[in-house]
Chains A and B, each alone.
Chain A
Amino acid sequence: MTAPLIQTQNLGKQFVSFKKLPGVMGSFTSFFKRNPIIKNAVEDFTFTVKAGEIVGLLGPNGAGKTTLMKMFTGIIVPSHGELKILGHNPWERDKALRKKMALVMGQKSQLWWDIPAMDSFLLLQKYYEISDEQFEERISKMSELLGVKDLLHIHVRKLSLGERMKMELMASLLHNPDVIFLDEPTIGLDLVAQENIRHFIKQYHEENQCCIIITSHYMQDVQALCDRLVLIFDGKKSFDGPIEEFEHILGHEKSVTFNFSCPQDPKHSFFSSLNTKWNEELTQLELRIEEARLREVSAQMIQDFPVEDFQTEKLPIERVMKELMNNPDLLRKKSP
């Protein structure tokens, strides 16, 4: 059995801040007297990641995803619990470990703003002791894949957000890391740029079989890249499993949409036992049905009502996530 690359046991992090009342009086009051507020950003987080896995960390804002990433990379020190990355304690900042991992933060830049990205890459080449041959090969390959070959010598501040993010990815992968942490790498990007980044990450993973942990607000990122998903609410792990299992967390339901040739009566007895959603004209009906009842209900509908067409799809992951964010208790109900 392969030893896990990432291993945590009851990992936790607390932050202390203080509340400041608004205005000048509030400033003076808090200057002399501060009431500390202790926040558990991450609590008792236990999980393992094996070599070659891509794991998606999902959760609402402030759930603790970025805090976890910072602990994994040794930027911040855990308040309690155990953490091993490639057998090292990351907060001990072993240089050998730092050479084997990479971090991309969608909201922070590692590139020098006032010079072209290529100059930053050359600095990174020296940091990570990459040979000229490997450096040139990797730059050429990645810039080709990401379509930024002509932008390498443009000042970073002149690049668009999407172009800059591609450069950030290149900067992080130059040293061919074994473990990659991607913290919202597609945030703020348009759909095409998001797709490009996803495609690049997928291809990079296939070629290098590295371990990737990705956090994102975009479910498409997770669906496209991850086999396994970890859900975090209020710093606690709420779900850890395959993405298919997550899709079924609200039950084995399907979403079916029927279009009728004329308006229907929503108060009809047939609809009373179903989970329905009508359009304004009452010509379109969206149903959420248990997978087992799909065939029976669809047949009945086609037989008794003027159905023009219909389509079935599994519940989109966004919808599952939205429902869970609105009602986290659903997860507890599912837990054994």
Chain B
Amino acid sequence: MLLRKYWEVYKKFVSTSVAVETSFRTSFILLIIMDIFFFFSTITSIRFIYDHVATIGPWNKDQLLFFITFMLMIDNLHMMIFSQSFWEFSAHLKTGSLDYIILRPMNTIFSVFFRHFRASSLIITPLFIGHLIYYGISLKLDYLAWVMIPLFVILSLALLVILEFILSTSMFWLTDGLGINFLRMQFQQLARWPNFIYQSLTRKVLSFVIPILLIGSGPVHFLIDHTHYKLLLYMGVAVVAGLFILANLWKIGLRRYDSASS
């Protein structure tokens, strides 16, 4: 019953976002072009590097391209479901428009971060899925790997946004979210590369303290070689711990909110 209510509200979030986005046609088309450009420039860069080297760390070209397309898939979903809400949250705090969101009889994290949907990203999702399947076939993934890919995409996206939600909660104290949003984007940038390219200490910090490297490296290492499951376990722990931290920090943040004057 509760899930159904949230689903009904989410459908309205999507339809109102689509209505808003499609009101500005040029912007809508430009966003699609930008996303396609970003996708192909990333893939081309990797291909170019592999024209000059056989491996990067332990991975060959197909393995790294599979990792990159996995992360691009996460990025596409992130852009579609969450990205705009992070920027809007900062504006809501500054202008006091969070007031009405807080009043609604729903979970405020849901109301704040699931509110804006980007239909332009949905249009090019098949491009990302197609490439992920293509590179998966190139790697000759087994049956278990194919079954696990959708679940891992959801798990990875969950870990990414939980970490971002936690980071964004600090906006209750800082009010201006520009710095936090750029920091958030830098974390995303770090996660776009496999864990083995980082030095030992950096890798440990970014895997176990701020577990941003687990987002892609945890699932992809396992998909390529099923004996590498430890990072996946850490990932599960990180998601649960992250949810716990988020729930408590968010409560404190809401109590800190002083609402801009009208």
Contact = CB atoms under 8 A, between A and B. Distances in A.
B16 A108 contact: no
Given A93-B254, A126-B5, A98 B103 contact: yes
A93 B16 contact: no
Contacts of A110: 100
A244 interface: no
Interface in A85-113: 91, 93, 95-96, 98-99, 101, 103, 105-110, 112
A254 B217 CA distance: 83
B9 interface: yes
A73 B20 contact: no
Interface residues of B, number: 28
B16 A115 contact: yes
Interface string B11-47: 1110110011001000000000000000000000000
B20, B23, B262 — most chain A CB neighbours (10 Å): B262
Nearest to A112: B16
A105 B255 CA distance: 21
B20 A103 contact: no
Interface in A114-164: 114-115, 119-120, 122-123, 126-129, 155
Interface string A43-87: 000000000000000000000001000100111110000000000
Given A103-B99, A108-B96, A114-B23, A126 B259 contact: no
A183 interface: yes
Interface in A155-196: 155, 183-184
Given A119-B15, A126-B9, A127-B9, A107 B20 contact: no
A28 interface: no
A156 to B, nearest CB: 11
Contacts of A270: none
Contact of A95 (B96, B106, B258): B106
Contact of A76 (B8, B9, B259, B262): B259
Contact of B257 (A66, A76, A126, A183): A76
B262 A108 contact: yes
Given A108-B96, A108-B97, A127-B9, A74 B105 contact: no
B5 A129 contact: yes
B150 to A, nearest CB: 27
Contacts of B99: 70, 73, 75, 103, 105, 108
Contact of B259 (A70, A91, A93): A70
Contact of B105 (A76, A95, A103, A120): A95
Given A70-B259, A98-B105, A103-B103, A112 B20 contact: yes
A75 B257 CA distance: 8
A70, A99, A183 — most chain B CB neighbours (10 Å): A70
Contacts of A120: 16
Contacts of A75: 99, 102-103, 257, 259
B223 to A, nearest CB: 38
Contacts of B23: 114-115, 155
Nearest to A16: B258
B85 interface: no
A108 B103 CA distance: 13
A123 B13 contact: yes
Contacts of A74: 102-103
B102 A93 contact: yes
Nearest to B10: A126
B15 A128 contact: no
Contacts of A278: none
Nearest to B108: A93
A120 to B, nearest CB: 7
Nearest to B96: A108
B88 to A, nearest CB: 12
Contact of B262 (A73, A107, A115, A119): A107
Contacts of A66: 261-262
B16 A127 contact: no
Given A76-B259, A103-B99, A108-B96, A128 B105 contact: yes
Contacts of A101: 103
A18 interface: no
Contacts of A127: 9, 104-106
Contacts of A15: 258
A158 B66 CA distance: 48
29 contacts: A15-B258, A70-B259, A74-B103, A76-B257, A77-B255, A93-B108, A96-B105, A98-B104, A98-B105, A103-B100, A105-B99, A107-B262, A108-B99, A109-B97, A110-B100, A112-B16, A114-B23, A115-B20, A119-B16, A119-B19, A120-B16, A123-B12, A126-B5, A126-B8, A126-B11, A126-B12, A129-B5, A155-B23, A183-B262
Q: Which 4 A-B pairs have the closest CB atoms?
A: A107-B262, A110-B100, A98-B105, A95-B105
Given A73-B99, A112-B16, A123-B9, 13 more contacts: A70-B99, A74-B102, A76-B258, A93-B102, A98-B103, A98-B104, A115-B16, A119-B15, A123-B16, A126-B9, A126-B11, A127-B9, A127-B105
